[in-house]
Structure formats: structure tokens, C-alpha cells
């Protein structure tokens, strides 16, 4: 469809394996690389372009926190928080991966999230399931290993945690009850339907915890006090912070990661400038003799 409207040479598609990516990053006639994927692979891409200093945009991994304040109605917010965390079985970079909940509403929100999860069918899309499997075997094994670690370290599951041996790379929606901040389920990006719920009391403490990561892609704050929500959002080390919603994108909204979540900007005029080389031309008339 694009070929019918774009001038010849504007869009090309190349398919291949790992060798193709390295070839593109090192090729002297390719002037710009834009990559979306894991931080580990992003570092390899950056190393590949270093030889000729080609332009680079990286949109990488995240360990995105959501902070839910005490004034939130758990029942009203549970569905939005659920899909902010588990859409596409949590297989996208800006899924909520750490859910910080004020202690005053922690038990109520945990109960509501379990109820929402139980109402959502996980399975084969041909069977009208709303959530499907992990996309590939390597990632499926990583998620299973993470769940094994949760059990080995004595973490409590509010829901899920046990993967069946049925065909397919299916992992049940898993909610973990207030694990230690240093646990793998909190520190690592699961990239699968595993969500730790973490209890907090003090805003300064939760901001510190939310920022205690090498990542900084996105975050969200949930509160009825919008002024307070904006103050908290401004303190979070993330390229995008949503207040009372999540995953809103548009061509005119800048999107990019902080820290090891990326380099450069996508979308907006800032994003377009990533594909241009600015040039300054200055002139003055000669002074006549």
C-alpha cells in the first residue's frame, strides 16, 4: 500500500537475522539508525554506529512505575490500572511494571485488581481470549524463571504464579503481594504478565523508590489532587508521565526515554529534527572600498 503512494526509494523493507542488523549499523552509506527494543540490544546498536558516528535514536526497555495515592477510589481505578499493566500480556515497553499503592487503600485495590483479572480470559485468540501468550520461547522461559525465583524467595502471590504445562507459551496473570524492593520481580523488566504491588506511606519515599532504577521510559501517577499529581510527576525520572491514565500517544507528542531507556526523541517536531541535520548559514555584505 505504501509503495503506491510513496516515491521510489523512500521505503524499503529488508528481512534477515542478527547479521543484517549489524550490517546496517556499520554500513557507511546508512546515515541514521532508529531502533526499538531491549536496552541490551540497544547498547550493541550504539556500539555498531560508533565507527562512523551515524545519527541514532534508541527507544529501549523500561521498568515503569505507577504511583497510586490514598485519595483514589480502588474500585473506580482498578480496571484502568489493570490494562495499564497487562494489555498485550504486558509485552510492551511502557506497561506498568511496578505498582506502588498507598497503604490506606492497598488491600482494597489489591482485591479489586484480582477481581478484574479473574474476569479477563487468557488463552488462544481464536477462542475469544482477551490476552494471549508470550511471543517467543526465549522470553517465555525468562518469565517462568522469574516466577521460579519469586517462589524460591518466599514471595506471596495474590493471583497466578503457577504456569501450566499445557501447549502454548501461556503465563497466567500474576500479582505479587508487596515483595522486597530488591527482589528480581521489582528490579527487572519482566516483559510478561507479572506485576509486583508495593505498599508505601510517604511520598518522598515512593518517589525515591520509583526512581531507583537504571530505566526511565514512562511512569504514571493516580490521584484526585491534580496539582499534587503534577508535582510528583515532575520529580519522576521518566520521559513520559501520565496522570490518571496511561499509554496516550500521538504524532505531535514527544516520546523518549531517560537514563538507559533510550537516546533521542520520537514523534513531535523534536522527533522530526532527529532525522535532519541542522545547518546555520550567516552572511554580511562586503564593505565597499
Residue 141: CB atoms within 10 A of its CB come to 12
Phi, psi values for residue 274, rounded to 5°: -65, -20
Q: What grid cell was written down for 182? A: 530488591
Q: Which residues are catalytic?
A: 59, 93
Say if CB 197 and CB 157 are below 8 A apart.
Answer: no
The predicted pLDDT at position 173 comes to 97
DSSP string, 144-167: HHHHHHHHHTTPEEEE------SS
Which single residue is written with the C-alpha cell 556500539?
47
The predicted pLDDT at position 14 comes to 87
Whats the size of the chain, residue-wise?
289
The series of mean pLDDT values per 10 residues for the chain, 289 residues long, is: 90 88 92 93 94 94 97 98 97 96 98 97 91 95 96 96 92 97 95 97 98 97 98 98 97 96 96 93 89
Residue 236: CB atoms within 10 A of its CB come to 21
Any long-range contacts for 161-169 (C-beta under 8 Å, 24+ apart)? 168/124, 168/133, 169/133, 169/134, 169/135, 169/136, 169/137, 169/139, 169/140
- Residues 237 and 260: their CA atoms lie apart, in Å, by 11
Helix (H) or strand (E) holding 66: strand 64-68
- Residues 43 and 16: their CA atoms lie apart, in Å, by 20
- Domains present along the chain, CATH in parentheses: 2-60+253-273 (no CATH), 64-243 (3.40.309.10)
Q: What angle do CA 110, 112, 118 make, to 5 degrees?
A: 105
Q: How far is CA 205 from its chain centroid?
A: 22
The predicted pLDDT at position 231 comes to 98
The predicted pLDDT at position 17 comes to 86
Amino acid at each position: 500500500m505504501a509503495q503506491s503512494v510513496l516515491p521510489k526509494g523512500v521505503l524499503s523493507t529488508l528481512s534477515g537475522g542478527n547479521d543484517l542488523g549489524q550490517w546496517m549499523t556499520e554500513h557507511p552509506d546508512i546515515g541514521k539508525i532508529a531502533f526499538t527494543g531491549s536496552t541490551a540490544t540497544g547498547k550493541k546498536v550504539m556500539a555498531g554506529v560508533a565507527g562512523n558516528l551515524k545519527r541514532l535514536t534508541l527507544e529501549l526497555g523500561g521498568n515503569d512505575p505507577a504511583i497510586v495515592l490514598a485519595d483514589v477510589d480502588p474500585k473506580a481505578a482498578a480496571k484502568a490500572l489493570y490494562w495499564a499493566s497487562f494489555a498485550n500480556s504486558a509485552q510492551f515497553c511502557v506497561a506498568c511494571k511496578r505498582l506502588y499503592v498507598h497503604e490506606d487503600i492497598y488491600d482494597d485495590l489489591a482485591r479489586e485488581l484480582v477481581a478484574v483479572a479473574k474476569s479477563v480470559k487468557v488463552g488462544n485468540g481464536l477462542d475469544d481470549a482477551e490476552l494471549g501468550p508470550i511471543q517467543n520461547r526465549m522470553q517465555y522461559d525468562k518469565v517462568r524463571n522469574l516466577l521460579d525465583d519469586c517462589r524460591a524467595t518466599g514471595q506471596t502471590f495474590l493471583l497466578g504464579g503457577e504456569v501450566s504445562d499445557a501447549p502454548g507459551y501461556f503465563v497466567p496473570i500474576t500479582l505479587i503481594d508487596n515483595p522486597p524492593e530488591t527482589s528480581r520481580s521489582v528490579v527487572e523488566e519482566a516483559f510478561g504478565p507479572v506485576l509486583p504491588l508495593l505498599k508505601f506511606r510517604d511520598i518522598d519515599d515512593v518517589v525515591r523508590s520509583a526512581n531507583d532504577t537504571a530505566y526511565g521510559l514512562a511512569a504514571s501517577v493516580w490521584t484526585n489532587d491534580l496539582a499534587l499529581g503534577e508535582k510528583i510527576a515532575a520529580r519522576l525520572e521518566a520521559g513520559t508521565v501520565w496522570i490518571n491514565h496511561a499509554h496516550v500517544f500521538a504524532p505531535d507528542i514527544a516520546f523518549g526515554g531517560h537514563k538507559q531507556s533510550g537516546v533521542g526523541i520520537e514523534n513531535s517536531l523534536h522527533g522530526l529534527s532527529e532525522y535532519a541535520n541542522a545547518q546555520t548559514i550567516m552572511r554580511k555584505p562586503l564593505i565597499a572600498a
